[in-house]
Structure 1
Amino acid sequence: MASKQFTLDPGARALLHDLGISLARVLRRAQLPAGLFAHGQVTMTTEEYYRFWDALNTEAADPDLAVRIGRALSVEAFNPPIFAALCSADLRTAAERIAAFKPLIGPVNLDVTADRSGLTITVHWPDGPTPPPLLVAAELAFWTALARIGTRREVNPTHVAMRHAPEPSPESTSYFGTPIHEGEADTVTFSAEDASLPFLTEDEAMWNFFAPELRRRLSELEASATTADRVRAALHEHLPAGESSINAVAAQLMLSPRTLQRQLQAEGTSYQAVLSDTREKLARRYLADPALPTSQVAYLLAYDDTNSFYRAFRRWTGLTPEAARNTDYLTPA
């Protein structure tokens, strides 16, 4: 679950300046305080964040604004979590690090899936209003910009999809190297080769400098989240890596397994219940993609074998995964 409060870095002010867009007019359209950026770090709710992006879109009146944002991005415009990610060895590592700290910079969670077929980054938005299309497109453009800045190569995604894809645009297709397709989720995929290209910005010493402060800020942010929410977020990271144990999740949350189970019981649930619920929701999302074979879905959910996944899925739904692909059950919520 994404945070209800998050920070918008002052670097956004420089980005809008580079785009030739008046920050004052955007804030006025969004009904946000004129002095919002006057004191450094900006705290916003999800609803305010969406208003900001809607206002930016209206003010710019440019259907290719997301591409312009991608091209205007620079290291100077990045906030600490993203700047720190550029210290990573490659795009895959950077994506995993940003996924861990993304709640610090937006109302969104990320799923990062890496295998021999490539690196796929899926963006999950909070329940409630649909995010502005410009925000979604800009999020996908960001990953392309990050890959290019880190590698100093013209890296192109192999696939880009949005749940509400815009009309095809030569400018957008040129930027991504592929059209934005209508899809079941907001995703961007890079080839395995490009995902492993070395980042020329790699600086592990700088990462070690940033990481403790980012973890501290994330802990403060997560303090208001329920334990079940935090377990779900951790499972989104661990399951694609083949790990589903309470020990691994408890270690990430800096709790003992016993304490974690006790906190979940106080919330009226259990680790096994949260694990099962998370797997079912992810299974529904993964199976909606016809390109993913059932065996791959089982792997992404950290099942030891496909038969174990079949049994669990039938327990949840009364259907086999193949039968579910032909029903409304897999329609994303």
Structure 2
Amino acid sequence: MKSHVSERIKIPLGLWAGIRDLGIATHEVARKAGLPLSIVNEPIVNTAQYFAIWQAYSDLIGDTAKGITLLATAFETAKYPPTVLATYHARDYRDALNRMARYKQLCPPENLRITEEGELCAIELEWLHNEQSGPPMLVGITLACLLELGRRGTGQPLTARLVEFSQAMGDTQTLEAYFGCPVRMGTPYNRLTLHRSDLDRPFVSYNEELLEVLTPVLDQSLDEQQSSRSFTETVKWIMKRSLTGGRPDIQTAAKEMGLSNRTLQRRLADENMSFKQVLTQARHEQALAYLADPSLDIKEVAFLIGYEDQNSFYRAFRLWEGDTPSNWRVKQELWRNRLVTE
């Protein structure tokens, strides 16, 4: 069994407060998650603990959709950490979303990719550095809070254009009533699509003085974190973002990083790596992440990590894990079920 990459994740105080406001005792969440009761007072947890907390809340609340809408609206803005608080005092919705995507890098394990095109703005949730996607509840809360950000900031009852989830999320009607748009499940993405015109709406909560204090501190923290990440990890992250349906080449990575092909190769060599090795690692790690999602079949996984045919993916996976993708998935499911019953 390969070990999962662990991240240090800060839990906002508002999470526990919001759960209590919904009538759920925090110690019940800890017990359901199989974690010590002291976890409620721990400001930092690892990825496995973080996911377990969200899954426990989901199990206790019952329907995932209900849990998403209730908690998203129960969060008190004042209890958000500085990385999120800064977004609520942005100049407009676009500024807030860009700040959210930028400073989200300080709070793994999720990452946001924003794309504006035509009349639409799509915000896609991605997972960083771990071999499985987060619990459906966490996915739903993340996208709901992005819309909630716009509603609270502008003071207007904004609606989305479309919401897509890769997993089942409970009652569809509940979610469509909250987002104000169609909600699709079983898609390849976790994505919130907004009306691009809403991004120009000014925030009534705009606070220039507060931003002048928060922005330099957050930018410095982000710069320090990014400089501590190895060059290889940065290239790998870019490759993971570029895998779907194709084989990203060195030109792709070099262009995104603002480097020449030669410089990128040299800096990888300085860390005893080659571009081919980084690409292989990116595919391997993403394959494990996608296979952990039972809604994706093997053919889809092969496509998502850039293989043109399923047989090529099978051969590569045997080299990585010494087993077929199907057998690996079954073993993982048995392992997770055993953890639940222990």
Asked whether the 8 Å contact 1:92–1:114 carries over to 2, the reply is no
Asked whether the 8 Å contact 2:94–2:200 carries over to 1, the reply is yes
Q: Is 2:199 the counterpart of 1:198? A: no
Secondary structure of 1:165's aligned partner: coil
Question: 1:1-12 to 2 correspondence within 5 Å?
Answer: 4-12=7-15
Aligned partner of 2:18 among 15, 20, 24: 15
Secondary structure of 2:39's aligned partner: coil
What per-residue deviation string (whole Å, max 9, x for no partner) do you get for residues 204-224 of structure 1?
A: 332221122223333454455
Partner of 1:208 in structure 2? 212
Aligned partner of 2:172 among 169, 174, 177: 169
Mapped partners of 1:260, 1:209: distance in 2: 36
Mapped partners of 1:50, 1:85: distance in 2: 24
What per-residue deviation string (whole Å, max 9, x for no partner) do you get for residues 244-303 of structure 1?
A: 89698469xxxxx99977543323246xx98xx99xx9xxxxxxxxxxxxxxxxxxxxxx
Corresponding letter in the other structure for 1:68:
L
What per-residue deviation string (whole Å, max 9, x for no partner) do you get for residues 147-189 of structure 1?
A: 1011000001101000113344332211111232022100001
Secondary structure of 1:35's aligned partner: helix
Mapped partners of 1:187, 1:145: distance in 2: 15
Aligned length, in residue pairs: 270
What per-residue deviation string (whole Å, max 9, x for no partner) do you get for residues 88-127 of structure 1?
A: 2222221221111213333111111123322111000244
Gaps of 5+ in 1: 238-243, 252-256, 282-315, 320-333
Secondary structure of 1:111's aligned partner: strand
Asked whether the 8 Å contact 2:115–2:123 carries over to 1, the reply is yes
In structure 2, relative to structure 1, the CA distance for the partners of 1:137 and 1:248 (3 Å cut) is closer
Secondary structure of 1:106's aligned partner: coil
In structure 2, relative to structure 1, the CA distance for the partners of 1:99 and 1:229 (3 Å cut) is farther
Partner of 2:74 in structure 1? 72
Q: Is 2:219 the counterpart of 1:218? A: no
More helix by share: 2
In structure 2, relative to structure 1, the CA distance for the partners of 1:119 and 1:34 (3 Å cut) is same
Partner of 1:82 in structure 2? 84
TM-score, normalized by length of structure 2? 0.67
Partner of 2:330 in structure 1? none
TM-score, normalized by length of structure 1? 0.69
Gaps of 5+ in 2: 242-251, 287-305, 310-342
The share of aligned pairs that are identical, in percent, is 25
Asked whether the 8 Å contact 1:73–1:145 carries over to 2, the reply is no
Q: CA deviation at 1:229?
A: 2.8
What per-residue deviation string (whole Å, max 9, x for no partner) do you get for residues 20-65 of structure 1?
A: 21111101221223223436xx112211111111111112223411
Corresponding letter in the other structure for 1:199:
F
Range 154-163 or range 12-21, more displaced: 12-21
Partner of 2:294 in structure 1? none
Question: 1:1-333 to 2 correspondence within 5 Å?
Answer: 4-38=7-41, 42-63=43-64, 64-126=66-128, 127-182=130-185, 183-222=187-226, 225-231=229-235, 249=257, 263-267=267-271, 268-269=273-274
Secondary structure of 1:139's aligned partner: helix
What per-residue deviation string (whole Å, max 9, x for no partner) do you get for residues 113-150 of structure 1?
A: 12332211100024423321111111111111111011
Cα RMSD over matched residues? Answer: 3.6
Asked whether the 8 Å contact 1:3–1:107 carries over to 2, the reply is no
